[in-house]
């Protein structure tokens, strides 16, 4: 039994030594800092017409993620003026997802704010699209907080 225990111990020790670097790498990848991006919807030509939002950092309307990510939160920046209402939709690979956000529910200044996250995202090409639903046509912006950096 002592011999058998020694054999098992050496196999276990070799396995731990062999896979320790992968464990460290995985733990470090889980410690990514959240990323905040701002998207702007230009003043639309008419109400109820969806247009793509532009990423203020990159100037692009779409982004590609190769690994899973999560949307943690979304807020207006700044809040739309009184009487203005917007609707935002997340598109994946050109198709609408079930994710719909309304400007009246993501105001950072109201006590009745509806928390959006966490919304899981799989690999694919994403776009934010938005339409103004009420009020005089005007541009608006939203801030989106992702769990990990975008590619």
Q: Is the pLDDT of residue 24 over 50?
A: no
The answer for residues whose C-beta is within 8 angstroms of residue 32's C-beta and 6 or more apart is: 147, 148, 149
Closest CA to 117 of 29, 51, 32, 34: 34
How far, in Å, CA of 91 to CA of 27, rounded? Answer: 31
Between 9-18, 19-28, 37-46, 95-104, the lowest mean confidence (pLDDT) is in: 19-28
For 89-116, the pLDDT digits (tens) are: 999 999 999 999 999 888 888 766 777 7
Evaluate if pTM is beyond 0.85. Answer: no
Half-sphere exposure of 31 (CA within 13 A, CB side): 6
Residue 134, strand partner residues:
85
Q: Is the pLDDT of residue 149 over 90?
A: no
Query: What is the rounded average pLDDT for all residues in the chain?
Result: 84
Q: What is the pLDDT of residue 6?
A: 63
Residue bearing tokens 């690994």: 67
Kindly state the average pLDDT of the residues 122-149.
Answer: 94
CB of 127 closer than 8 Å to CB of 37:
no
Q: What is the pLDDT of residue 114?
A: 76
């Amino acid at each position: 039994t002592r011999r058998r225990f020694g054999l098992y111990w050496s196999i276990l020790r070799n396995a731990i030594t062999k896979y320790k670097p992968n464990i460290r790498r995985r733990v470090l990848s889980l410690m990514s800092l959240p990323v905040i991006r701002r998207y702007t919807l230009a003043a639309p030509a008419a109400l109820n017409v969806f247009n793509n939002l532009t990423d203020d950092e990159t100037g692009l309307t779409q982004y590609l993620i190769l690994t899973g990510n999560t949307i943690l939160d979304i807020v207006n920046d700044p809040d739309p003026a009184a009487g203005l209402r917007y609707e935002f939709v997340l598109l994946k690979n050109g198709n609408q997802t079930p994710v719909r956000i309304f400007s009246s529910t993501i105001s950072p200044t109201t006590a009745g704010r509806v928390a959006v996250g966490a919304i899981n995202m799989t690999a694919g090409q994403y776009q934010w699209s938005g339409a103004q639903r009420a009020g005089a046509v005007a541009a608006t912006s939203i801030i989106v907080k992702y769990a990990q950096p975008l590619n």
